[in-house]
Structure 1
Amino acid sequence: MSMAGLIEKARAGDGEAFRELIAPHRRELQLHCYRMLGSFQDAEDALQDTLLSAWQGFHGFEGRASLRTWLYRIATNRCLNARRTASRRPAKAWDIPGVEPPEPTGLGEVVWLEPFPDSLLDGAFNAALGPDALYERTESISLAFVTAMQVLPPRQLAVLILRDVLGFGAKEVAEMLDSTVESANSALKRARAALQRRPPPSAGRKPPPAAHSARERAIVAKFVGAYEAADLDTLVTLLTDDVFISMPPMPLEYQGRDLVARFCAGIFGAERRFDLVATRANGQPAFGAYLRGSDGISHGIGLIVLTLSGDRICAMTRFENSVLSWFDLPRTLPGR
């Protein structure tokens, strides 16, 4: 059936026609909500709210803007509402038994950050980016980028994502936000200036190897071998001088090879040994981390996401084990 026919049926209350219209946009809307909110769970809630609002208000869709633009308008405003009303996850205290962490470099602000599974990126980039897009697709889903976005005021965040990430025009963005072009351009200017004043930790580093390339596989294999063997010396050789560790929702952050080495030495020195299971998050190599138990079973304790710079690791982000199911990773592994 033609697009016009589907729209007519959906306006008349045909749910199947509505679902067919929405399906090509669902994944990219989910990713948009994630960029806006920084939390996978919050993004899923915002997506469901968006789709419900779109269904309930579809009789008012007049086609003056494209269906995609209309949906982005709804999703963006639902995310702005969520940012205003959400009770973010509180910071969590250090909870690794038998390990005393070193004094951190600093305390992170974005403790609600969660990873986004690469398996959900299929279909998230169906639409061509608009001419105003400044960020490469891989950069725009990285943990460093999403984290940096979260410290922007909500409307600045929305304008920057719509303009510089998705490439919508100034007039389109102003209409989405019930604003003027002048106001939207002013918000974009302030957002860009804020990012320049506090660039993410990975700014200015060498580009990472291509995903799934031989170079990436070689780095990952060395990391897995060193981490599973608790080989601190080899692990340290893989790190950049300014390597950065964060652990949301724990706010502790560590920067610099020597300090990160001390942190890992504390983990390994407590006789904690791990098995790693490969996956991908935010376009980056990631691993389910499983602590080997005395019962012969390895228990899932979290997810580690690597950020690569050239042939080195410039950041490691550790998330709680509650995220493992999003990556189809089990809670336990049989002993090796």
Structure 2
Amino acid sequence: MTVRQAEPTTAEPADPEIFRRELTGYCYRMLGSGADAEDAVQEVMLKAWRAAGKFEGRSSLRSWLYRIATNTCIDAIRAGSRRAMPVQLGPARPPVEESLADVLPDGSWVSPIADDRVLPPEADAADHAEYRESIRLAFVAALQLLPARQRAVLILREVLRWRADEVAALLDVSAAAVNSALQRARSTLAATRTESARPLDAPSAELVDRYVDAFERYDIAEFTRLLHADAVQTMPPLAMWLRGSDDIGRWMLGVGAECRGSRILPTSANGCPTFAQYRIDPAGGHAPWALHVLAVRGGKVAGIHSFLDAANLFEAFGLPAHLD
């Protein structure tokens, strides 16, 4: 997959802020966390401001900022733990209350990012499709399997289409070393099965409408008919995850039945259909509960990734703090 970006010209803007959106996308792929990516880019901008007097113009401003961003991300990766999806961390659990016992450590799961933080508004439809593909949750989770420098090489070469000599200059290595790292990264990703996040066609868009309608009416029989038989549901920070439409249905009618009566607001994350769920608030109205990122494949829902860190995510996505 490739993400087309305009090449720098002699009239390249001198303000680093013009590159914030694309740098956020780069740092998100590197770090697997929307919040961490935002923090990393803020650090990049601060470092660039402090070192502005040392920038001699031997490379483009974009290349210089990517060097700072790469080093910032590599340092963060080395200092923290690898992020992953729950399906990468253990077997599926049964849809019973006991499965709620295990919670993932903070910072250990891949988290979503709002499309408007990373998708370029000026891109055409074809470019937007490639951008969406390059930020889907499964692909970002697969990237986290790679060592930091291999991760950077693959993103720069395969996603952003930098030449081998450009990546070599950024990483201070030879072009041969870049090509070797790229081959190793490709081999690792080739062994990883990922969900697709292709653009929605009309039937798929209708499927999503039916999904939301069934959820809000809490018609679980209809809801599960919209899922693949082997669909998965994850619920970070819970370590548990469910496999199969039958288990997902049993969960929603059992332990998860408090979701009955929820209201849904559409949003967009990771190039996928995304919904903010508000559960009934005993004090009145509806309170934030989860952000659901869907993976759609072959006319049915293949994955429901439900992020329960609603307090932080809803604010980051610009969603209401409460529904009256």
- Whether the TM-score (by the shorter chain) exceeds 0.5 is yes
**What CA distance in whole angstroms lies between the structure 2 residues aligned with 1:195 and 1:292?**
41
Alpha-carbon displacement from aligned partner over 1:201-253 (angstroms, at most 9, x marks no partner) = x16xxx6443xx54343122111111112111111111112212112222222
Structure 2 residue aligned with 1:117: 114
> Structure 1 residues 84 and 268, CA, compared in 2 at 3 Å: closer, same or farther?
closer
For structure 1, the residue ranges without an aligned partner over 5 or more in a row are 8-17, 93-98
Matches for 1:18-97 after TM superposition, within 5 Å: 18=14, 21-86=15-80
**What CA distance in whole angstroms lies between the structure 1 residues aligned with 2:12 and 2:190?**
45
Alpha-carbon displacement from aligned partner over 1:280-333 (angstroms, at most 9, x marks no partner) = 111111111111134431111121111111321111111120200111111211
Deviates more, 1:135-144 or 1:156-165: 135-144
Structure 1 residue aligned with 2:313: 323
**What CA distance in whole angstroms lies between the structure 1 residues aligned with 2:30 and 2:156?**
10
Structure 1 residue aligned with 2:90: none
Alpha-carbon displacement from aligned partner over 1:134-188 (angstroms, at most 9, x marks no partner) = x932210111111111121111111111111101111111111122222221111
What is the aligned-residue identity percentage?
A: 38
Q: Residue 324 of structure 1 contacts residue 331 of structure 1 at CA under 8 Å; is this kept in 2?
A: yes
Structure 2 residue aligned with 1:278: 266
**What CA distance in whole angstroms lies between the structure 1 residues aligned with 2:259 and 2:131?**
40
Q: Are positions 1:237 and 2:225 aligned together?
A: yes
AA at the equivalent of 1:120: R
**What CA distance in whole angstroms lies between the structure 1 residues aligned with 2:293 and 2:314?**
12
- TM-score normalised to the size of structure 1? 0.80
Counterpart of 2:146 (choices 141, 152, 163) is 152
Which secondary structure state, in structure 2, belongs to the residue aligned with residue 250 of structure 1? Answer: coil
**What CA distance in whole angstroms lies between the structure 2 residues aligned with 1:284 and 1:36?**
19
**What CA distance in whole angstroms lies between the structure 1 residues aligned with 2:83 and 2:198?**
31
**What CA distance in whole angstroms lies between the structure 2 residues aligned with 1:34 and 1:224?**
28
Q: Residue 84 of structure 2 contacts residue 144 of structure 2 at CA under 8 Å; is this kept in 1?
A: no
Q: Are positions 1:194 and 2:188 aligned together?
A: yes
TM-superposed CA distance for 1:58, in Å, is 2.3
Which secondary structure state, in structure 1, belongs to the residue aligned with residue 254 of structure 2? Answer: helix
- TM-score normalised to the size of structure 2? 0.82
> Structure 1 residues 123 and 100, CA, compared in 2 at 3 Å: closer, same or farther?
same
Matches for 1:117-136 after TM superposition, within 5 Å: 117-123=114-120, 136=130
**What CA distance in whole angstroms lies between the structure 2 residues aligned with 1:60 and 1:294?**
58
AA at the equivalent of 2:262: F
Q: Are positions 1:333 and 2:316 aligned together?
A: no
**What CA distance in whole angstroms lies between the structure 2 residues aligned with 1:268 and 1:68?**
47
**What CA distance in whole angstroms lies between the structure 2 residues aligned with 1:29 and 1:70?**
12
TM-superposed CA distance for 1:269, in Å, is 3.8
For structure 2, the residue ranges without an aligned partner over 5 or more in a row are 1-8, 87-94
Q: Residue 89 of structure 1 contacts residue 249 of structure 1 at CA under 8 Å; is this kept in 2?
A: no
Q: Residue 233 of structure 2 contacts residue 241 of structure 2 at CA under 8 Å; is this kept in 1?
A: yes
TM-superposed CA distance for 1:273, in Å, is 2.8
Q: Residue 34 of structure 1 contacts residue 40 of structure 1 at CA under 8 Å; is this kept in 2?
A: yes
AA at the equivalent of 1:100: V
**What CA distance in whole angstroms lies between the structure 1 residues aligned with 2:247 and 2:236?**
18
Q: How many residues align?
A: 302
